[in-house]
Amino acid sequence: MVPDVKALAIAALVGLGLATPAHAHGTHASAPLPDTWVNLARLDPTIRMDIRYATANNFTGRRVPGYGAPRCLLARPAADALVTVQRQLAATGETLVIFDCYRPAHAVTAFNTWVGGSTGDNRHYYPGLARNTLIERGYIAARSGHSRGYTVDLAIGPARAPRFAPRRSSACGNRSDRMTLDFGTPFDCFHPSSGIASRDVPASAIANRQRLAALMDQAGFAGYAEEWWHFTLRARPDDAPWLDFSISQRQ
């Protein structure tokens, strides 16, 4: 039998973590989860999901390509660590609120394309910043660690929260996150006051950020200086690949 050269090349790329079966064939189809990955809601259904990029409630103003369902998909070690944090919060009547987990590589590409589409700012998401500077300023990644399955964006909220949180004025206007504690700025507020070390927010918000960072640190996560909500498991393998399958209801 004559070897299928194209198939052998694709298999080699997949094995090296440079492509996935869906991406290698020129599609972004939904695929079964990798063997070592899980849907976080199935592991712990008490964790609250608020997956923004599966809706139009995000800085692009539309559902992001690749987000066919509001799922939090992660490598099992990262998911297990979050369950540990959730158990600690449950003891105080609180819960994790998840904004984003695995992000398909073509969703990252869509963000990069979107960034180049304007030089204007947006007072609710990137006040005073030109949209086409968001990558160089570190708010949007040219290649995201979210695509590797060990990075998560999250907050803390009361387990029995009202449907809508009161409006909170911040650098991003009166936009606020539903059902979370006050962290001074909402998720995806691309502004210096969203930085972990910022003191340009109320003392109560600083305390909430410090508590979140401490809980995540104890569970093995490292934060990102520019965004109080962004954490990556420190034990992520160096060879963890960037993946590109779409998120769907069946995963």
Q: Residue 163's pLDDT is what? A: 56
Q: Residue 81's pLDDT is what? A: 98
What confidence tier does 165 reach under pLDDT thresholds 50, 70, 90?
low
Domain 28-233 has CATH 3.30.43.10: no
Q: Structural domain boundaries of the chain?
A: 28-233
Q: Residue 23's pLDDT is what? A: 40
Catalytic residue among 94, 136, 226, 227: 227
Summarize pLDDT for 97-154 with one digit per residue, the tens. Answer: 999 999 999 999 999 999 999 999 999 999 999 999 999 999 999 999 999 999 999 9
**94 in active site:** no
pTM of the full structure = 0.87
Summarize pLDDT for 178-211 with one digit per residue, the tens. Answer: 789 999 999 999 999 999 999 999 999 999 999 9
Q: Residue 11's pLDDT is what? A: 37
In three state form, how does the secondary structure of the chain look?
Answer: CCCCHHHHHHHHHHHCCCCCHHHHCCCCCECCCCCCEEEHHHHCCCCEECCHHHCCCCCCCCCCCCECCCCCEEEHHHHHHHHHHHHHHHCCCEEEEEEECCCCHHHHHHHHHHHCCCCCCECCCECCCCHHHCCCCCCCCCCCHHHHCCEEEEEEEECCCCCCCCCCCECCECCCCCCCCCCCCCCCCCCHHHCCCCCCCCHHHHHHHHHHHHHHHHCCEEEECCEEEEEEECCCCCCCCCCCCEECCCC
Q: Residue 31's pLDDT is what? A: 76
- Calculate the average pLDDT of the chain: 89
Q: Residue 178's pLDDT is what? A: 79
Q: Is the confidence at residue 2, as pLDDT, over 70?
A: no
